[in-house]
Structures are given as C-alpha cells and as structure tokens.
Structure 1
C-alpha cells in the first residue's frame, strides 16, 4: 500500500475513502446532459440538480464499495501503487466502510424518488441497475470488474446512461402531457443528439479506468484480478486509451458540422493540450509515480472537456 500511515485521522480517512478527486468525473456527464437540454429548450433546474446529487452519491457509494470489496477479496496488497485504500490499509474497519456504502446508496435512492416521480419506470430501471452495477463491479460471487468488463460498465453508466438520463428527466419534466410516473419513454425524451453527446464523457471516463488498470496491471495479475488491461497487455491498453480520448475530440467536430449546433460545439477542442500532455505519459509509463498524477489529469480533462462541451451546446440558445 502506497501511503497509508498510522497517524491519519478518522476524518481524513473517510475523505480518502470517498475519493473526492473522482467527483468531477461523476459530475461531468450531468453537465453535458444539462448542455444538451439547454440547446433543446428543455432545461429544468430541479431535475438537473437532483441528477447531479444522485450521480455524486452513486460515485461515492461505488468508491466505498470498491474500497471494501477489493480489500476483503485480497486485490489490494502492499505492492499496489495507487492511492491509499482505507479498508486494506487498516484506517477504517471493513464493517464501517460497508455501512457507509449502504448509507450512501440509500441517500441516492432517496434523491431518486423525486426523479422517479418525474421519469417513472425508466429511472427506476436506470437507478437500481446503476447501484447494482456499482456493487457488483467488485462485489458478489462473480465481480465483473475482475473479468475485464469494468471498462464497459464505466462507458455505459458514466457516459451513455448519465448524459442521456440527465437529459431525459429534464425533457420529461417539461412535457405537461406526460404526467407522473411514465412507464415508457415518451416520444422526444431521449434524442439522437443526447446519445451522441454522451460519447465524449463515456470515452474519457473509460480512459480514467484504463490508466488505473495499466498502473495496477502487475499487482492485479498477481491477485487474480483480471481487468481488461490484464487481458490486453500494455500496448493494446494504450490503443484503447487513445481510442477513448480520440472519440472525445471527434464527436464535437461532428456536432459543429451540423447546422443546428454550429462552430460553438468545437469549444471542447480547447482542452486538447491537456489530453495530449497526459497521453504522452500514459503511452510511456507504467509506474504509479507517473500514472497517479496522470490519473488525476485525465479526470481534469474530462471535467474541462464537459464544461466546454456543455457551454458550446448551450451558448447559441442563450446569446
């Protein structure tokens, strides 16, 4: 374990367990969903804020779940080069982390009640499946994060679902004829633009996981944790990284070529120097000393890209 020490306070340990450095990644897709909604004229403040709070709670709950299950399954060892895990490091008792996980997911459900009243059955399915996916990523008898499926989970839930779900609850909230608790997707509540706009967030979120798994590849192999990086090796994992990052910069060009969006959609390209800089590190390094800062920089790239993309989508409608 990289930095665990006996003198870490309980309060600091809980902050470490929540991993605040990951929260921009949880917020970024919601920001994009809001941008698409503003462009379409369906922005709704209440559902947007609830989607943001719910996304952050699910992110924190998943962080607690990963910390707990990786420790009890023996995946977090003293050789791991990543940020300190509080359960494996003995900073917080496993039972406490497990209770915190349940409480955080419980709060997400409470927030979700409001969104369910607006979005109905589709939000029930998305919310409960998202929580289940967060737990089963490293928990349960067959943790799919240990079988090379973690990248798919992140792409779907932290990209496609998060962006389109944020758009959906706002769109439905502005459709008076829909009423409370729709059981199907009302026409126009999920658009091709929303789905396409989710791809950059999906790609950059997945790129964060790729960096994490490249850094931990050797220790994961030793612990029997078969991430996609374990299966692919360093070269093809880096190809995956470049594909995910590259997609984030191709999609805005497609939007800019659409007359309904125009050149404002190119705003995310302002973040390209960040992406190029961190890519150089990921393409050449495997050690935690280099990849831990890179991990945070990819998260920063995701958040900046998402802010710029949301602004580029929104500005033509508000200027």
Structure 2
C-alpha cells in the first residue's frame, strides 16, 4: 500500500492532501441554515451567505491543515504520503499556512458581525473552532479517544447550521436545531468512514477510534444504522409538521447510502478496497443536504 502511494504522480498526492470533495462539509451547513431562513423568514442576503461560505471553507481548510501537523507529531501519518507535512517536509510552513486560513476565515465571520452589529454569529463560530481544535490539537486530542464523531456532529451540525440561520435572520429557530441533526449525522459519517482503512496505524499511534474499539465488522454494522437514520428522522420531522414535505427530496440520495453500506459491509476488512468509502460518504452528505435544503427553498 505504501509503495503504491509513493508511485502515484505528485499531482494525485497533492489533490489527496487538499481533499477538494471534503469541503462540502463546510458548504452544506451554511446552505441548509440559509435555506431554512428563506423558508421561515423570506430573507436571503447574498452578501452574508457568500461571506459566511468563504469563511467556513477557510476555517475547514485550517482544520484539515492543522490536523496534518498534529498527526505528524504522533507518528500516525508516517505511511500517509498525501499528508501535507510529508509532501513538503516543512511542518512549520504548513502550521502557519493553517493559521493564516483560520485568521482569514474568522475575519470573514467577524465582518458579518460588524455589519450586523451583533457578535452572536462570531461567538458561535468561535465555539465551533474550539471543538475543531480539541478534536486533534494538543493537549486534548479527543479524536484519539474516539470522540471525534461527536465533536464533528456538534461543530458542523447544531453550531454552523444555527449560525448560518442566525446570520440571515438575527433570530433563533427550533426548526434550525432539528435541521442541524439531519446535517450533523452525515457529516460525522464521513469521519467515521475514514477510520476503516487505517486501523493498524491508529493502533500503533494509540488512537482509539470507534473502528479500533469496535472492530471493522461491528463498525460496518453500526455504519448501516448510522446512515439509515438520516431518512426516517427526516420523515418523522415532516410528519410532526416541523419540516415541509419537500425536504423528503433528500431521500433521492438513498442510492448513495445503499452503495456506501454495501461497499463497507463487503470490504470492511480489506484496507485497500475500503479506503475510498469516505468519498462515497461525502456523496451521501452532499446530495442529502443539498436536496434537504432545496426542500426548504421550494
């Protein structure tokens, strides 16, 4: 596996390090929160939406970059040739590049707070950044204790969706909290799927990821329930009158959910074959959240 990674063209390693598809994790919570604001309050400030979107993407870039830095300190990425630190051989450069992304991203959110003369959105995003740091950063490294999925759920679910809604309306909404659950679950799903192919490296570095704790077989079974919960939950909220019926458009992403569960169940014990499952999870996340938000807009 390591030799195959080394032989890849440099451009492929760089693309794997940058992870462009993963940035839907930053985009979708902002989209859903904004769509819900439009549905409830009939407001849509394009400038605020675009500014928040850029800020969220930059902050996620910081998290991804800093995770490579922090992982390089534990040795867990020694076989990961698409790590930014391993590609450049310059940990300090990558560290400060990540900090620059964080400062730029927070500046975007701060601009919204200044325009609106309301620090609420900035405060919520700061809390989300704090969760992002304690996930992987020293001395906390809670991701190494198997808590990453929980932190991910709250950071990219309740916090960012609520902040995006508030940035448009300057009010609170219980519906946005319910919607944030539907966004948070598939976001955590991506992180959960990223563990299946690196069990040996995780164990060697002392990382007690959920897959290390459960084993790949039980992990694949939990994945099925985890993935499947998105759709009945959406239906439940529709039946309760919390979501409009059009949010059931998100069920059109079911083929990707079936593909993900089937792929992991068949290959959970084969690292090279299961390593791409997180990208299938990204498709589940992207399409379910895109169609979910579209349901609110309609």
TM-score scaled by length of structure 1:
0.84
Separation in 1, partners of 2:239, 2:196:
35
Aligned equivalents of 1:197 and 1:133: distance in 2? 20
Q: Which residue of 1 aligns with 2:28?
A: 28
The answer as to 2:96 corresponding to 1:99 is yes
Does structure 1 residue 234 correspond to structure 2 residue 216? yes
The alignment's C-alpha RMSD in Å is 2.3
> Deviation per CA, 1:78-125, whole angstroms, max 9, x where unpaired?
2x5xx72121x3434111110111100010121021122237343233
Instruction: Indicate the residue corresponding to 1:114 in structure 2.
Output: 111
Q: Offset of 1:296 from its aligned partner?
A: 0.7
Matched, 1:275 2:277: no
Structure 2 portions without partners, runs of 5+ = none
Contact 1:115 1:169 in 2 (8 A): yes
- Tell me if 1:265 matches 2:266: no
Quick one: distance in 2 between partners of 1:151 and 1:73?
20
Q: Deviations over 1:251-304 (max 9, x none)?
A: 321243245754312100111011011111122323333223221111011111
Distance 2:17 2:230 in 1: 29
TM-aligned CA deviation for residue 24 of structure 1: 1.4
Alignment partner of 1:3 is 2:5: yes
- 1:240 is displaced (CA, Å) by 3.7
Which residues of 2 match residues 53-92 of structure 1 at below 5 A?
A: 53-78=54-79, 84-87=82-85, 89-92=86-89
Query: What TM-score do you get using the length of structure 2 for normalisation?
Result: 0.89
Q: Flag the structure with more relative contact order, 1 or 2, with Cα contacts below 8 A and sequence separation at least 6.
A: 1
- Whole-Å separation in 2 of the counterparts to 1:113 and 1:36: 22
1:195 matched to which residue of 2?
177
Q: Could you say if the C-alpha distance between residues 190 and 148 of structure 1 is closer, same or farther in structure 2, counting changes exceeding 3 Å?
A: same
- Rounded Cα–Cα distance in structure 1 between residues aligned with 2:163 and 2:55: 11
Farther-moved stretch of structure 1 (190-199 vs 261-270): 261-270
Q: What's 2:196 paired with? A: 214
* Between structures 1 and 2, the one with greater helix share: 2
CA offset digits 1:123-173 (Å, max 9, x no partner): 23322222233233222123111111101111001112121111111111x
Classify 1:212/1:6 alpha carbon distance in 2 versus 1 (closer, same or farther; 3 Å): closer
Q: Contact between 2:197 and 2:272, CA under 8 Å: does it hold in 1?
A: no
Residue by residue, what CA displacement relative to the aligned partner does 1:183-241 show, whole Å, maximum 9, x if unpaired?
A: xxxxxx22111111111211111111111112222220111112222223334433442
